[in-house]
C-alpha cells in the first residue's frame, strides 16, 4: 500500500506512543547513557536520516563532553521493506581508540545497525555502543542487541519521531503504526 495522501495515511494509523511517552523514554535513556559513558569522552554518531530527531533530543540531555559525527546508510529508500544497504556517508572523525555511541531511530532487523557497528570497529573504535529510540520485537534473533532502548513496539511498520512512512511524517512528535 502506498498512500497518496499523507493526512489520510496518518488518520488511518494507530497511535502507539504519545509525545509524553517518547519524552519520558528519552529522559530515562539520557540518564542510563550518562551513567555508562560519562568518563569516556565518546564520539556520538547519529545514523541519518531517521536518527536525527532522536539524537537532537537525546544529546542535549547528556551531561558529559562528546564529539558528534554522523553516518548515512539506508536500506529503505522511502519504502516499507528494507533492501540492500546503501552507504551515503561514513564517519568523518578519527575513531581510532575511541568509544562510539551510535544513535538511531529504530532497531528493526538489525542489519543496518550491525553493519555500521562493524564499520566503526574497522575504523579503529575500541567500543561501539548503540542507543535506539525504538526496538521492534521480532520472532527471530537479530545480529545486534542495542545497549540502550527507549521503547519497544510490536512487529508492525512504525513511523514518527524520525521514522518515515513513504518519506513522510518523520516530524511527528509521537510514534504511530500502519494498520
Residue 163 forms part of a structural domain: no
Residue 108 in any domain: the answer is yes
**Single pTM value for the model:** 0.92
Is residue 55 included in any domain, yes or no?
A: yes
Q: Is 147 part of a structural domain of the chain?
A: yes
**Angstrom distance (rounded) from CA 69 to CA 52:** 11
Tell me, yes or no, whether 40 lies in a domain: yes
Residue 6 in domain? no
**C-alpha span between 59 and 78 (Å, rounded):** 26
**What is the tally of structural domains in the chain?**
1
CA distance 105 to 22: 12
- Indicate which CATH number applies to the domain containing 66: 3.40.50.2020
Task: Spell out the residues 6+ positions from residue 140 whose beta carbon is closer than 8 angstroms to its own.
Answer: none
What is the signed CA dihedral for 154, 156, 162, 167, rounded to 10 degrees?
A: 180
Task: Using the predicted structure, report yes or no on whether residue 89 has a pLDDT greater than 60.
Answer: yes
Mean pLDDT over 126-132 rounds to 98
Q: What is the per-residue pLDDT for 86? A: 81
- Main-chain dihedrals φ then ψ at residue 10, nearest 5 degrees: -65, -45
With respect to residue 162, please indicate whether it lies within any of the assigned structural domains. Answer: no
Q: Where are the alpha helices (DSSP H) in the chain?
A: 6-11, 19-37, 51-59, 111-122
Q: Please state, in angstroms and rounded to a whole number, the distance separating the CA atoms of residues 161 and 26.
A: 12
Residue 77: pLDDT over 90:
no
For 11-55, the pLDDT digits (tens) are 999 999 999 999 999 999 999 999 999 999 999 999 998 999 999
Q: Which three cell numbers stand for residue 10?
A: 496518518
Which of 91, 133, 138 is CA-nearest to residue 111?
Answer: 138
> Does residue 54 lie within any of the structural domains?
yes
> In the prediction, which pLDDT does 173 show?
97
Mean residue pLDDT of the chain comes to 93
29: containing domain: 18-156
Which residues neighbour 28 within 8 Å (Cβ) at sequence distance 6 or greater?
Answer: 150
Work out the burial of residue 49: count CB atoms within 10 Å of its CB; fewer than 13 is exposed, 13-18 middle, 19 or more buried.
Answer: middle
Amino acid at each position: 500500500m502506498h498512500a497518496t495522501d499523507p493526512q489520510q495515511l496518518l488518520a488511518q494509523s494507530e497511535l502507539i506512543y504519545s509525545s509524553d511517552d517518547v519524552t519520558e523514554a528519552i529522559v530515562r535513556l539520557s540518564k542510563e547513557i550518562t551513567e555508562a559513558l560519562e568518563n569516556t569522552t565518546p564520539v556520538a554518531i547519529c545514523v541519518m536520516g531517521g536518527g536525527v530527531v532522536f539524537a537532537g533530543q537525546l544529546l542535549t540531555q547528556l551531561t558529559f563532553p562528546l564529539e558528534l559525527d554522523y553516518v548515512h546508510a539506508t536500506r529503505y529508500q522511502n519504502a516499507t521493506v528494507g533492501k540492500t544497504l546503501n552507504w551515503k556517508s561514513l564517519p568523518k572523525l578519527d575513531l581510532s581508540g575511541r568509544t562510539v555511541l551510535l544513535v538511531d531511530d529504530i532497531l528493526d532487523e538489525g542489519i543496518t545497525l550491525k553493519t555500521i557497528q562493524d564499520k566503526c570497529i574497522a575504523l579503529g573504535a575500541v567500543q561501539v555502543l548503540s542507543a535506539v529510540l525504538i526496538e521492534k520485537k521480532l520472532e527471530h534473533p537479530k545480529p545486534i542487541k542495542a545497549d540502550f532502548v527507549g521503547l519497544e513496539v510490536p512487529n508492525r511498520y512504525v513511523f514518527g519521531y524520525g521514522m518515515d512512512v513513504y518519506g513522510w511524517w518523520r516530524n511527528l512528535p509521537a510514534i504511530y503504526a500502519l494498520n
